[in-house]
Amino acid sequence: MSKKPRLGVNIDHVATLRQARGETYPSIVDAANISLSNGADQITIHLREDRRHIQDTDVEAVRLVTRKYGKPLNLEMGCNQEIIDIALATNPDWVCLVPENRQERTTEGGLNLIDDKVRKKVQKTCEAIKEKLPETKISLFLEANITVLEHAVKMPIEAVEIHTGDYAKAHLNGEDFSSYLSEFKSAEQFLKENETACHAGHGLTFESLSPLLDLKLFEEYNVGHWVICQAIFDGLGSVVSKLNEQFEGSNL
């Protein structure tokens, strides 16, 4: 039976607005409620080491909302012990391990598993999470690079989230993005052969989602910055509802 791909709404940038003035608004809890009540299949938040948007207390607050709706919480995080401890205490449904650089404006790419030091750290983090939270699923944020993916599928993970940032930028700039689609197809096929789910995220908009949904490549998409930006004009509920309709028309 066909099913629609999962729509994950990343609400980090609601917290970005809140932190810009040090206020208690806009409410991250309200953002989670509105997103889930308008069709989001999960909520994604990224607890960064520098705490530039999501704060420690937000994690449990959003967790309570997702439990109320019976929907997953996807916690993006680096391999930092303090953050790992918070994840272990919160027990999210999904953990997505991502690289972090204090100087970056946003996540700049996937984990470099070709680097021995990075690979060992990621492996150790996966094992620590699985030991304490065996029911929590793990995904790794990676480039659509087969060499990198070969390392990934050897780890105790359930999925890979493919970095779509460069593709999304090319789409936005009206450039030829066909090479990215070919890379995504190859990555999805490799992961499928290795019984690993294939997700996508970063930089995606309503328009750049369309070619990906048409190809039926990914089981899950996480969309954030564009959602919050468009919500300024259309309202968060309306934007999430529009995305949900787009996803419902693109069954896998």
CA–CA separation, 142 and 109 (whole Å)? 7
Backbone angles phi, psi at 43, to 5 degrees: -110, 135
Is 171 an active-site residue?
Answer: no
Annotated catalytic residue, options 13, 76, 163, 220: 76
Count CB atoms within 10 A of the CB of residue 101.
12
CA–CA separation, 196 and 144 (whole Å)? 14
Q: Is 47 exposed, middle or buried (0-12, 13-18, 19+ CB in 10 A)?
A: buried
Angle at 37 between CA 4 and CA 139, to 5 degrees: 50
Annotated catalytic residue, options 161, 188, 202, 220: 202
Is 13 an active-site residue?
Answer: no
Is 199 an active-site residue?
Answer: no
Annotated catalytic residue, options 46, 53, 151, 199: 46
Dihedral through CA 139, CA 143, CA 148, CA 154, nearest 10? 10
Distances (CA, A) of 132 to 85, 87, 127, 140, 141: 10, 10, 9, 18, 21
* Residue 201 near residue 141, CB atoms below 8 Å: yes
Active-site positions read 46, 76, 202
